[in-house]
Amino acid sequence: MSESEGLQGGAGEWGSLRRVAEFKRRLKAGEAMFGGWLSLTDPVAAELMARCGFDFLFIDTEHGAWDLIALQTALMGFNGSPTVPIIRVAWNDHVRIKQALDLGVEGIMAPMVRTVEECKALVRACRYPPVGARGFGPRRASNYYRDLDAYVAAANDAIFVMPQIEDIATLDVIDEFLAVPGIDAVALGPNDLSGTTGHFRQHAHPANAGAVDKVLAHAKAAGIPACLGVNSKAAELPGWLAKGVKLLLVTADLELLAAGSAEALRNGRKAIA
């Protein structure tokens, strides 16, 4: 296959949105998918992590120093890799979502999706008419229009959509929320969620732990894969998996850099003590 036949700036096996379509197929089949966080805007970080074997990576533009140029360059680091780039947009805003998708992002995670209507708006922003209202102009996403028809034919079904529940009020409508057509998974945001219970970052508090468990239980009953939205330790993974958490976050670029640097320094000092 020539380069002009692929998508996302990278041809071959993972072109034409096949990468994310396969990701969604495996997720729907009940497989556990492993991922991490990408916060550093240097494309080397994206390229390095995309070649580690993760099923997906969250590009965190909500809290990171990302602009569109940095995002576009980082996405090039995923070329030729089976790792699916999923962006956490800064807000559930159709303009931000459109721009990310047109650059070639294959999945959208939207923060602070509070209501059923906001969840429906997220899905509409990720889908072309007649089922959605996504603006048209998938330049890089369609291999600079060389694969336009193939991209448009696949995009509505292939793009991964995941709202993030971060408000206790959402639990009052959780079943209706999870029943919104077009969402592929649901994420939690334990820190911001705890801010709406009156027990900020007290994750063991019954109000917070109970809210997390309720979302997970209802998502599992509805057949919707879940993501905690935060990293988990290896020993915790079996327990979360049993509760329906299928998108497992295990690390982050910043975490690896900070922890690895500290450990190297500590070991060096210890060696000459």
Number of Cα atoms under 13 Å in the Cβ half of residue 36:
21
Handedness of CA 29, 35, 37, 41 (dihedral sign): negative
CB-CB contact of 110 with 162 (8 Å): yes
Handedness of CA 96, 102, 105, 108 (dihedral sign): positive
Scanning 143-189, the segments in alpha helix (DSSP H) are 148-158, 174-178
CA atoms of 145 and 139, how far apart (whole Å): 6
Q: Which amino acid is at 199?
A: H
Q: Which residues contact 194 (CB under 8 A, 6 or more apart)?
A: 200, 201, 202, 203, 205, 208
Q: Which of 63, 94, 199, 218 is catalytic?
A: 63
Q: Which residues pair with 57 in a beta bridge?
A: 36, 85
83: tokens are: 């790792």
CB-CB contact of 140 with 72 (8 Å): yes
Longest dimension (CA), the chain: 69
Q: Which residues pair with 245 in a beta bridge?
A: 226
Residue 218 annotated as catalytic: no
Report which of 246, 50, 4, 17 is spatially closest to residue 126, judged by C-alpha positions: 17
CB-CB contact of 52 with 45 (8 Å): no
Indicate which residues carry an active-site annotation: 63
